Chains A and B, each alone.
Chain A
């Protein structure tokens, strides 16, 4: 699935990194615990989260993830958006809640991965 499709399916808007919209991703994970993301994520390229602090971007960057979706219409502060821009990570804000956002992506073919 392309990052652009994720934005479409979740009725999301890009906060940064719209230029990466054509990138293909194959799996995602949803979590508000960065500890768990660091411990359990393998090759998931997309992170869905309700957390908005800079460590969300740092965690994604350590895991080589390419896209973060902020659920429930959350928008992180500017410093977080700037950090993601520097790291080349796409940020999307979606009005969906966690369960629906994950379900929608799953049923459209995005997988949990390992």
Chain B
């Protein structure tokens, strides 16, 4: 199998469509016959990242490369950036407001969850410039 490259625009103004990039990637991985447990790991981590782009960063781009043995998901936004990544990674830390919480998010669990489910979770961020999250999941 050759590597498959997928790209998505994540609309930062549209909470309704948030998660549709992940939905599409999940369907593709399923179609390729990837082990369901691995598909779920990729889906959860990417979905958390996609939601973060919408609720914290006005959207961005998702780039996905599917290889024989792994998938690499890159979530790139030009949002406000994360001032203190170590603090942001702590379970329970969230800057989400009441509106976001009323939608069912903002528990401060997304980044820790991405770290838990992906084999590698690399966060690069610059305040005022944006954030890039790279999620690497090896197939078992």
Taking Cβ atoms with an 8 Å cutoff, the residues of A that contact B are: 32-36, 38-39, 49, 51, 53-56, 58-59, 61-64, 79
- Of A38, A49, A56, A58, the contact of B113 (CB 8 Å cutoff): A38
- Of B26, B107, B110, the contact of A62 (CB 8 Å cutoff): B26
Of A33, A51, A56, most B-chain CB atoms within 10 Å:
A33
B47 near A38 (CB under 8 angstroms)? yes
A36 to B43, CA, bound (A): 16
A35 to B96, CA, bound (A): 12
A38 near B109 (CB under 8 angstroms)? yes
A39 to B106, CA, bound (A): 12
Interface presence of B105 (CB below 8 A): yes
CB contacts (< 8 Å) of B44 on chain A: these are 38, 62-63
Cβ-closest chain A residue relative to B54: A55
Taking Cβ atoms with an 8 Å cutoff, the residues of B that contact A are: 15-16, 18-19, 22-23, 26, 36, 40, 43-44, 47-48, 51, 101, 103-110, 112-113
| Distance in Å: Cβ of B26 to nearest Cβ of chain A | 7
Taking chain B's interface residues, is the majority helix, strand, or loop, or is none over half, making it mixed?
helix
B36 near A64 (CB under 8 angstroms)? yes
18 CB < 8 A contacts A-B: A33-B105, A35-B106, A35-B109, A36-B107, A38-B47, A38-B109, A38-B110, A53-B16, A55-B18, A55-B51, A58-B22, A58-B47, A59-B47, A61-B26, A62-B22, A62-B43, A62-B44, A79-B16
B104 near A33 (CB under 8 angstroms)? yes
CB contacts (< 8 Å) of B18 on chain A: these are 55, 58
| Distance in Å: Cβ of B27 to nearest Cβ of chain A | 10
Which 7 A-B pairs give the minimum distances between C-beta atoms? A35-B107, A34-B104, A58-B19, A39-B109, A62-B43, A35-B109, A62-B47
